[in-house]
Structure 1
Amino acid sequence: MHEENCPYIAVLFRDGDGSRSKDEWQEKWDSIVRGFALEDFNFGVPMVPRPKSEAWLLQAHMNQENPSETYETRTGNRASSFDMKAQLELLIEGHPSREYLVQLIDEGTISPKNISAQCSSFRTFRDALVHALTEALQGN
């Protein structure tokens, strides 16, 4: 598990998609945790945005205007009147390329602080990542 005595961390991403159900989100999270455990991999981190990753990006923007609103409780269904992918494309005036999203992060437009204020799924991911990093650096 260590290459050149350097531990590594794996992040497994999966959208929560479609459901506002906390139980369904928890089942997806737990499934990823169990998968890492089955492989005896101690530094695995689930990343399961609720309902999908666009909610986190929209939340980062929205918190600047209305910090009490949350996208996390909305549907992830593409057929809904509020399709998050379409809303994100509208907000950033086009398809969000990786390069452009990195630019928004570098500028501070997208900030983990803005996302974590309202998104429990992001806070859960962040806490798991910090825990894995701490464990890896301590050599456990």
Structure 2
Amino acid sequence: MIVVLSGEGRSDLGACRNAQGHCSGDTFAPGPMTVLVDQEIASHLHYSPLECAPATYLYVSETWLSERARERKQHSRKISLTGQKRGQETGYYHINAWMLGEAAKDFEQQHKDIAIAVLFRDSDGARAAAASDWSAKWQSMHSGFQRAGLGARGVPMLPKPKSEAWLLCAVANAYQHCQKLEALPGNDDSPHSAKMQLQAALGGDASTEAQLNWLAEHGFDHQAVAADMPSYQQFKASLAAAIDEVRRPRRA
């Protein structure tokens, strides 16, 4: 199995060390959200791919996906990338998932192995959003993976409002009363934002390295977070379904 990842930067799923749009193995620097992905996978496979087989992970950047979409649009004039029923914002999530799903299928051919794809995007980076906005974005990612033909092996990773809220549940709330964290401001400039609160909870340092160090030292109770944060529960369930889809042919 290979896991194809795409995030927004170093502080979520990670980044490439090779200054290119895609990487794996030693050229991939995993971020805190990759640690969570890996731990969820390990709970099903009973080993950590990140520790035992780091080449399992292939990372493609947001820019790389955008370039892939641009090239497709140039060569397929009759194809609408957003679609008539999707606005520009949710269309962005749909296109990203579509392009990542197609890339995962390409990597399957190259590596002669089955793939799952995990697309990380913050759901609200600038303003407070209506509850329905999160669902619309999640559904757009889901339909993008479907459009690529990846089906259940495409996993939306869409924290509400941002990844810092998931970590805050563990770091600051001791896994109690965490659903309210999904209502925090998504704007990082807000004094009450998830990012500012995580920084305070980590003693003034919420850097990627600080988050990774905290996870390495304290771990992360995935079940507890999923029980109290619907956005994490959706991710957890989607990843479980993807792994089940990968394992199903082997059980046949």
Q: TM-score, normalised by structure 1?
A: 0.84
1:11 corresponds to: 118
Query: Structure 2 vs 1, CA of residues 127 and 118 (structure 1 numbering), >3 Å: closer, same or farther?
Result: same
Greater RCO, 1 or 2 (C-alpha within 8 Å, sep 6+): 1
Aligned residues: 139
Structure 1 residue ranges, 4+ long, deviating more than 6 angstroms after superposition: none
Instruction: Give SS of 2:183's match.
Output: coil
2:116·2:242 contact (CA, 8 Å) conserved in 1?
A: yes
Task: Name the Cα RMSD after superposition.
Answer: 2.2
Q: Which moved more, 1:101-110 or 1:55-64?
A: 101-110
Q: Distance in 2 between matches of 1:108 and 1:86?
A: 21
- Report the AA paired with residue 117 of structure 2: A
1:105·1:111 contact (CA, 8 Å) conserved in 2?
A: no
Q: Distance in 2 between matches of 1:115 and 1:105?
A: 14
Q: Distance in 2 between matches of 1:84 and 1:78?
A: 7
2:215 corresponds to: 105
Q: Which runs of 5+ in 2 are unaligned?
A: 1-104
Q: Distance in 2 between matches of 1:77 and 1:120?
A: 20
Task: Compute the displacement of 1:99 (Å).
Answer: 3.6
Q: TM-score, normalised by structure 2?
A: 0.50
For residue 140 of structure 2, the aligned residue among 11, 27, 31 is 31
2:241 corresponds to: 131
Rg bigger for which structure? 2
1:15·1:53 contact (CA, 8 Å) conserved in 2?
A: yes
- The structure that is helix-richer by fraction is 2
Instruction: Give SS of 2:184's match.
Output: coil
2:171·2:202 contact (CA, 8 Å) conserved in 1?
A: no
Q: Distance in 2 between matches of 1:62 and 1:91?
A: 6
Query: Structure 2 vs 1, CA of residues 96 and 81 (structure 1 numbering), >3 Å: closer, same or farther?
Result: closer
Q: Distance in 1 between matches of 2:117 and 2:205?
A: 27
Percent identity over paired residues: 33
Q: Distance in 2 between matches of 1:16 and 1:98?
A: 19
Task: Compute the displacement of 1:5 (Å).
Answer: 4.4
Q: Which runs of 5+ in 1 are unaligned?
A: none
